[in-house]
Amino acid sequence: KAEGRGQRAESKKEGCKVEGNDNCLTGDDINSTNAAAGKARNQAEMMLVAGYSGIGKSALVQELYKPITAQRGYFISGKFDQFQRNIPYSAIASAFKSLIQQLLAENEAQLSQWREKLLAALGSNAQVIIDVIPEIEQIVGSQPPVQQLEPTEAQNRFNLVFQKFVQVFCQRTHPLVIFLDDLQWADSASLKSIELMLSDYQIQYLLLIGAYRDNEVSPTHPLMATLNRLQEEGAIVNSLTLTPIAPAQITQWIADTLYSQPKLVEPLAELIHGKTSGNPFFINEFLKTLYQENLLTFEQQEQCWQWDITQIEASSITDNVVDLMLGKLRKLPEATQQALSLAACIGNRFELTILSPICEKSAAQTFEHLLPAIQLGLVQPTSSLETTTSETLIESALIVENYKFQHDRIQQAAYALIDDEYKQSVHLKIGRLLQQKLDNAELGERLFTLVDHLNKGRALVESDRQKIELAELNLQAGKKAKQATAYTASRDYLILAKALFPGEIWQELYPMAIDLYKELAEVEYLNGNFDQSQNLIEQSIQQAKSAFDSAEFSYLRIYQYTLLGKYQEAIEASITVLRLLGTNLPIDNYQAAFDSEIE
């Protein structure tokens, strides 16, 4: 019988001492992060941290928090969500939202200084940033709408205003570190924003840290294309790749955890290495599973840990981390499983006010159902305890409003608890709940999230009225994304709006058709799809009911010809549309025509 036994522990332990992913961090890794913290005082640059999921990237970057804040700097972070990849600027907006929350906690004098700095930098274009990061309005106040510009000029304005906005926070007295996690899921608009921050030589005292799974990124991935462009432009981009834990390190980790000698735990460490391939998150969860399955036990009398290698080898513990987490979740109470699976649909971060109605429970009941997952470290509260509102104090209950999944793999496993055929209905339910709960202002702020959920459940939308309503929401989202220069996302929303409309949109809802086709024609061009844009313009001209409507699309054609340097085509198109509007311009003998006009 192959058994293992640790040495006598110094004190009785109620559970196995299992550390987090920081066990994979070496001294060199920590030194690299501290060196990166120093870089935040100099020229703007980027530090990339690559590695497999669960390898310890986030834990390593979090080591920067203390040295940065010790130097009066700001450390902010955002995370791209694996199930909400279409939402533009999600992680960047989240990061700056946390910065705004920090600023709002400062005294009135400091807050007034920030207001002055932001208004001086943004001028009359503050609304451009508010549209992407609504929380800015809490500092600068309500701002007037910006002037309408042609798409190219609007993009140039956004780029300039965004760079000026970032400059405000990147100062010698308070350097800024931005951590963007899971860049492999970043949208194209966010990648462009990264380029804007690193290509502006007026932005100093900025360190941008990006973590990504290098095994999920091919050479043709948009992230790699962005990084290649940055290096070609001379931006400073450093990189650090985290590798799996070596067998010797695992042995030492297990020895420290079980209060034993490395030699005694070598067989167990070898088995764990074979199962987990040295992945710290997997090792952590594997050890917890051994303990929960009574394959790793604490001997009370001898005050030491014991295990049986033969029993562990014979057990059905999987060597797939998602399956392992799925197995753990299925042992939780049914109500907890349901709450977690629905929370996974909402996103990596979720709120009790959204989750509890989806669960069809009160906030207090939903919080109670989440408690087993909180106690096991599967989800982590991100706000403090508060009291539910009730008519009487006796009926009130303590709850936590905001949460996040402790790891992507946990969210992935929780999402897998839902049968595929039910996922669409869950997302549709979430979307409709958001529609009911959000007022007009909140709807504008969370429009992308709302539409993303409704779109995932669109196959279940049956009535024509609801389909038209969803098409209109996608049109709104497409416009908002275009205003924020998120042209790829804008195109996706607008194409879906066009596809969702039941029947013939030109005959049944002409004003919407004009609006949708105009936006889509512009966005196709902005995405480099000239032929598709011209086809949409031609269709619209054929369907237009008035010369004025036709002229709007003709103007788009002329504008695109001009930008492409096709001046002859632009002139011919101009003459055609002017003739349509009752103005005839000569096509030859210009001098005679000029003299005639002078007379």
Helix (H, G, I), strand (E, B) or coil at 258: coil
Structural domain includes residue 512: yes
Strand-pair partners of 399: 386
* SS3 call for 572: helix
| Together in a domain, 222 and 263 | no
Q: Are residues 214 and 310 in the same domain?
A: no
* pLDDT (mean) for 185-198: 93
Domain end, chosen from 418, 435, 466, is at 418
Is residue 10 predicted with pLDDT exceeding 50? Answer: no
Confidence of residue 1 (pLDDT cuts 50, 70, 90): very low
pLDDT at residue 397, as a whole number: 75
Res 39 pLDDT > 70 = no
Position 388 confidence tier, pLDDT thresholds 50, 70, 90: low
Q: What is the pLDDT of residue 4?
A: 55
Q: Given this model, what pLDDT does residue 389 score? A: 62
If asked whether residues 410 and 536 sit together in one domain, one would say: no
Q: Where among 214, 241, 268 does a domain terminate?
A: 241
Residue 464 belongs to a domain = no
Can you spell out the DSSP letters for 2-54?
-EEEPPPPSS--SS-----GGGG--HHHHHHHHHHHHHTTSB-EEEEEE--TT
pLDDT higher than 80, residue 599:
no
Residue 355 lies in a domain: yes
333 & 212 share domain: no
- pLDDT at residue number 392: 47
Please give the pLDDT value at position 372. Answer: 94
Ramachandran area for residue 390 (φ above 0: left; ψ -120 to 50: alpha; else beta)? beta
Model pLDDT for residues 308-363, shown as the tens digit of each residue: 999 988 887 888 888 888 888 999 999 999 999 999 999 899 999 889 988 989 98
Q: Confidence band (pLDDT; 50, 70, 90) for 559?
A: confident
pLDDT (0 to 100) of residue 151: 82
312 and 358 inside one domain: no
Angstrom CA distances, 131 to 104, 399, 446, 486, stand at 19, 32, 11, 12
Among the residue ranges 139-143, 268-272, 322-326, the one predicted with the least confidence is 322-326
Asked if 146 and 32 sit in the same domain, the reply is yes
Q: Is the pLDDT of residue 580 over 80?
A: no
pLDDT tens digits, residue range 465-499?
999 999 999 999 999 999 888 999 999 999 999 99
Residues 81 and 52 in one domain: yes
* Shared domain check, 206 and 60: yes
Task: Give the pLDDT of residue 503.
Answer: 85
Return the minimum-mean-pLDDT range out of 277-291, 392-406, 448-462, 500-514: 392-406
Least-confidence region, from 14-18, 142-146, 495-499, 580-584: 14-18
* Mean per-residue pLDDT, 19-31: 48
- Tens-place pLDDT, residues 142-181: 999 999 888 888 889 999 999 999 999 998 888 999 999 9
CATH label of the domain that carries residue 82: 3.40.50.300
Residue 572 confidence (pLDDT)? 80
Within 13 Å and on the Cβ side, how many CA atoms surround 175? 24
Give the pLDDT of residue 396: 62
In a domain, residue 290? The reply is yes
Unique residue bearing structure tokens 């002859």: 568
Distance, in Å, from the CA atom of 90 to the CA atom of 310, rounded to the nearest integer, reads 48
- 130, 114: one domain: yes
Cβ-based neighbour number of residue 532 at 10 Å: 17
Percent of the chain exceeding pLDDT 70 equals 91
Residues 59 and 161 placed together within one structural domain of the fold: yes
Q: pLDDT tens-digit profile of 43-94?
A: 789 999 999 999 999 989 988 888 888 878 899 999 999 888 888 999 999 9
- Global pTM? 0.80
Are 271 and 198 within one domain? no
The answer as to whether 486 is a domain residue is no
Least confident of 30-39, 249-258, 260-269, 390-399: 30-39
Burial (0-12, 13-18, 19+ Cβ within 10 Å), 162 = buried
Confidence of residue 9 (pLDDT cuts 50, 70, 90): very low
Single-letter code of the amino acid located at 10: E
481: in domain: no
Structure confidence at residue 390 as a pLDDT band (50, 70, 90): low
**Domain containing residue 173:** 22-241
Element at 120 (helix H, strand E): helix 108-122
User: What is the mean predicted confidence (pLDDT) over 110-127?
Assistant: 94
Same domain, 42 and 143: yes
Confidence of residue 31 (pLDDT cuts 50, 70, 90): low
Please give the mean pLDDT across all residues of the chain. 87
Instruction: Give ∠ CA 217-88-498 in degrees, rounded to 5.
Output: 105
Q: Look at the chain and report how many structural domains it folds into.
A: 4
Residue 42 has a pLDDT of: 58
List CB contacts of 43: < 8 A, sequence separation 6 or more: 201, 204, 236
Answer yes or no: is 357 within a domain.
yes
Q: Report the pLDDT value the prediction gives residue 64, as an integer from 0 to 100.
A: 82
Among 447, 376, 456, which Cα is nearest to 423's?
Answer: 456
> At which of 241, 275, 306 does a domain end?
241
Q: Classify 76 in phi/psi space as left (phi over 0), alpha (psi -120 to 50) or beta.
A: beta
The CATH number of the domain holding residue 354 is 1.10.10.10
What is the mean predicted confidence (pLDDT) over 241-248? Answer: 93
Report yes or no on 494 lying in a domain.
no
- What pLDDT is attached to residue 228? 93
